[in-house]
Structure 1
Amino acid sequence: MEKILTGIRSTGTPHLGNILSVIIPSVSMANKNIKHSSFIFIADLHSMVQIENMKIIKNNTYKIAAAWLSFGLNIDNCLFYRQSDVSLVTELAWYFNCFYPYKRLALAHSFKKEMKKKEKINVGLFTYPILMAADILLYNAKIIPVGKDQLQHIEIARRIGNYFNKKIGKKLFVLPNAFLQKKNMFVLGTDGKKMSKSKKNCINIFSSDEVLKKQIMSIRTDSKSVKEKKNPETDYIMSLYSLIAPVDQIEIMKKKYIRGGYGYSEAKIALYEHIIHKFSSEREKFFSFMKKKSLLDHILALGAKKAKSIARKRLNCIRKHLKFNPII
């Protein structure tokens, strides 16, 4: 039985890129998979490298939980929990910190990228891949649904697991593999770059109709007039529409682009209307869950209880090999 594990940082409401590349494929796998072989968590500890206000992180956690549940995650079939509720993962991360070479970690693309952008860098940002490796390896997860930008982190987790296995002299950790949805591995934002909260180029299906429409209408286009023919292969509106619309509707829009007489504003309205229609049920459920935060806390606590039971057994096995006493 191969375990599946994935998570999203609680840095805000999941945008369309998160939904298409992580949430939808992960929910599908979790609901079809063998009971309790899927681990889905909200990475609130990881969020601290970016957000210092814990009230914001807590509220974001509710948004993430509501988003997952609105897309039909079956909590009876998987372990759905808040990362900070299973603090044993931080103990494992410390062991990895002490075994993994500093020079290798310093080569992480994400850290070097942030170093160029910021003057103030916290230690958590540097050790981020270590905690991520602990999230994965603590449960011996094999399949990790991720976006393209997380591939190096999965490779680091593999190296850490392999490095630790060799040091201990026993295969304690299963080495994980990244799982990419090729169609949705790279979702463009409104500016044509990868959709990201930090770039402020997101389309948020859980925002109000007015805000959602404003986001879509801000999608960057060229200066071609309504009458002119347009290239559907290089257009950002078409790129997003192709990810969510049925094949026949995609072909209709492509023909309109090629024929001419079809403006970008019309295409944006078509994208907006399709998002409203396609995700109407999920939007309704999301807003309902956000009014029931005590229910969300209860659901996450149930998942954490199950995850803790597994984590404690795994960590005690690791502690045994490190000559530490078991956790009582």
Structure 2
Amino acid sequence: MARILTGIQSSGRPHLGNILGAIAPAIELSKDPNNESFFFIADLHSLITIKDGPLREEYVRAIAATWLAFGFDTDRNVFWRQSRVQEHTELAWYLNCFTPFPMLANAHSFKDKSERLADVNAGLFTYPVLQAADILLYDANIVPVGKDQKQHLEMTRDIATALNRQVGQDILVLPDARIDERLMVIPGVDGQKMSKSYNNYIDIFLPEKELRKAVMKIMTDSTPLEEPKNPDTDITFQLYSLIAGEPEVALMRQNYEKGGFGYGHAKQALYEMILEKFSEPRRIFNYYMENTAELEQKLVEGEEKARQIAQETIKKVRKALGYGS
């Protein structure tokens, strides 16, 4: 049985890009009886940028509600908050001591901000090590990642190999990356990768009026309504294609190419498709956001399961490094 691990930072409410690019594919993998899924909320990682405790807690609830809204089975799998299992930080320290400085200095997460070192905290610099601990703590075999995270997974393997070599035994499992090429980049309303940092995302859980307003902000070219349009270069069509079925996408393509179909019509169709496609997830999300005690209970139950596994790994590492028998 393959053990699959996925984490998502609590740095904001999940948006359409998160759902299509990470959450939905991961949940689909979890439904395979040959897989065992470990999904966690990386609320320690989010402290790098989110210092407001109540705000971060609100984001944690939103992320947890999203996973449940899209059908993640918390009875069969493991679902928890990173901060509630202290073994994450303990293993991160051990791994820090096997991680060369140049490796971290070359990490994309650091290099992207290294020109303004005053804005870089130690948490950002050592981010890949905590991420490695998150993965190695649970003997994960497969980690679904985007292309931008592939380097960090390679670093995880290198760090684990260094520790294994030092102690003379393979106590840490080397994980493999799984990259979904089709859903690698989800475009935002401005055409860049959909991201909270770019403020170009679509939150599918917004009330209907706010959701429609967000969809209508999608950038388009100036082609007049009556003229044919190229669907392959249009952001609205790209997003529609990711959530609609083949017959609907084919019809939308015809509408673009024949003319007499404006971008406003396309955006309205996308808005209506979001409401149709995500009707049930929206209902479940709102339920858990209003019934936080039930949400909390599911997380607490998952944290107990995660803690039991994490403690076994830590015992092995402690013994191998001379910190306990």
Aligned to 1:283: 282
Map 1:294-313; keep pairs closer than 5 Å: 294-313=293-312
Map 1:196-207; keep pairs closer than 5 Å: 196-207=195-206
Aligned CA RMSD, in angstroms, stands at 1.3
Deviation for aligned residue 1:224: 0.7
Question: Structure 1 residue 260 and structure 2 residue 262: aligned?
Answer: no
Give, in whole Å, the separation in 2 of the partners of 1:187 and 1:119: 31
Give, in whole Å, the separation in 2 of the partners of 1:146 and 1:283: 25
Aligned to 1:154: 153
Deviation for aligned residue 1:118: 6.7
Aligned to 1:324: 323
Aligned to 1:85: 84
Give, in whole Å, the separation in 1 of the partners of 2:25 and 2:33: 12
Give, in whole Å, the separation in 2 of the partners of 1:237 and 1:116: 35
Map 1:108-257; keep pairs closer than 5 Å: 108-116=107-115, 119-257=118-256
Change (3 A) 1:111 1:325: same
Letter matched to residue 321 of structure 1: A
> Do the aligned residues in 2 keep the contact of 1:30 with 1:77 (CA within 8 Å)?
no
Give, in whole Å, the separation in 1 of the partners of 2:117 and 2:56: 21
Deviation for aligned residue 1:182: 2.3
Deviation for aligned residue 1:117: 6.0
Give, in whole Å, the separation in 2 of the partners of 1:137 and 1:84: 16
Deviation for aligned residue 1:31: 2.6
Give, in whole Å, the separation in 1 of the partners of 2:157 and 2:82: 20
Deviation for aligned residue 1:263: 0.5
| Unmatched segments (≥5 aa) in structure 1 | none
Give, in whole Å, the separation in 2 of the partners of 1:180 and 1:197: 21
Q: How many residues align?
A: 325
Q: Is 61-70 or 177-186 further displaced after alignment? A: 177-186
> Do the aligned residues in 1 keep the contact of 2:113 with 2:119 (CA within 8 Å)?
no
Deviation for aligned residue 1:301: 0.7
> Do the aligned residues in 1 keep the contact of 2:9 with 2:42 (CA within 8 Å)?
yes
Give, in whole Å, the separation in 1 of the partners of 2:217 and 2:194: 13
Partner SS for 1:48? helix
| Unmatched segments (≥5 aa) in structure 2 | none
Aligned to 1:13: 13
Give the alignment's TM-score, normalised by structure 1. 0.96
Deviation for aligned residue 1:115: 2.6
> Do the aligned residues in 2 keep the contact of 1:237 with 1:271 (CA within 8 Å)?
yes
Give, in whole Å, the separation in 2 of the partners of 1:80 and 1:316: 22
Question: Structure 1 residue 75 and structure 2 residue 71: aligned?
Answer: no
